[in-house]
Amino acid sequence: MTQDPSAPIVTLGSSAATGSPGTESTLTVLIAFGANFLVAVAKSWAAVLTGSASMVAEAAHSWADTGNEIFLMIANKRSARPAGPGHPLGYGREAYVWSLFAALGLFVAGAAVSITHGIHELFDPEPATDFLIGYIVLGLSFLLEGFSFLQSVRQARREAKALHRDLIDHVLATSDPTLRAVFAEDAAALIGLVIAATGLALHQITGSATPDAIGSILVGVLLGVVAVVLINRNRQFLIGQEVSPAARSAALTALLKLPDVDRVTALRLEFIGPRQVYLVADVDLTGDDTETHLAVRLRALEAQIRQSPAVVDCTLSLSAPDEATLAP
């Protein structure tokens, strides 16, 4: 069975055809930015009127998310730049650098501020007022955050289906840091709104600011956990993350179906950007050509593999006779 020359060696999701962060990721970030900005303004207004510690934490959370979306937009823009002499493999890893900045911002501006304010309220409580305004703002915020979250879920579900993954597994594994960040931040925002509403309600019912302060601390802890997960995933992609075993097996199968490839003895596929990989392989070519002809055939194979939308570049070497053959 031979390989169709137009068939991709590697497929990495529904946006792989672009070879860079998809336009859908940009749309997801823009929707999240608009929603978070409106929510941040509303929460800040409500925090001033109510004096609720949970509302202050939520305002800090939303302003942190709004700033983070700017980092994510920069990530999409800069990582999509074409390769050049100084960067022959392109700028894909910039997506992880700017997404790392966004995760750090969430940790500092969101988690640290919320926890610090909650602790301050525990020792120096202030009574809250205008509870109705707080509930209205939290309800509107839930609708806006929910709309943004649904956009990220739609994108993640579409890609997860193409790769035969569960939704959460795909969000954690995807090479697109902007999708993961928006999904995680919006999910945390919805949970945080429930925590804030509970703290505000208990403050109104009991007359004590303690539940409200605890709510602020819990929101901060939630943001801290999300930030640490995002920081760690960006770190892993920056230092070199291989594709999933399923993607590697599919790529090996595709290589073995190429008419000129008799066997493969080594294969490495490393992410160098969102949905972008660098392929390195040792192959044994069919026939018994001279060294000159083998070099020409190897270069032709490399050119064919680079036609795969997800493969930014590849390097092929000849296998030694005594090297073990890889099995798909």
> Can you read off the two tokens belonging to residue 103?
């995760």
Q: Burial letters for 21-39: b for 16+ Cβ neighbours within 10 Å, e otherwise?
A: bbebbbebbbbbbebbbbb
Give the span between the Cα atoms of 197 and 142, in whole angstroms. Answer: 11
Q: What's the confidence (pLDDT) of residue 14?
A: 47
Going by pLDDT thresholds of 50, 70 and 90, the confidence category of residue 25 is: confident
> Mind listing the pLDDT tens digit for each residue in 138-182?
999 999 999 999 999 999 999 888 888 899 999 999 999 999 999
> Mind listing the pLDDT tens digit for each residue in 91-119?
899 999 999 999 998 888 888 888 998 89
Q: What residues does each domain of the chain span?
A: 20-239
Which superfamily does CATH assign the domain made up of 20-239 to? Cation efflux protein transmembrane domain (1.20.1510.10)
Share of the chain above pLDDT 70, in %: 93
Q: Which helix (H) or strand (E) holds 30?
A: helix 23-50
Tell me: pLDDT of 4 over 70: no
Residues 6+ apart with CB under 8 A from 71: 98, 99, 101, 102, 105
Q: What's the confidence (pLDDT) of residue 16?
A: 39
Share of the chain above pLDDT 90, in %: 39
> Mind listing the pLDDT tens digit for each residue in 208-253?
889 988 988 999 999 999 999 999 999 999 998 899 888 899 899 9
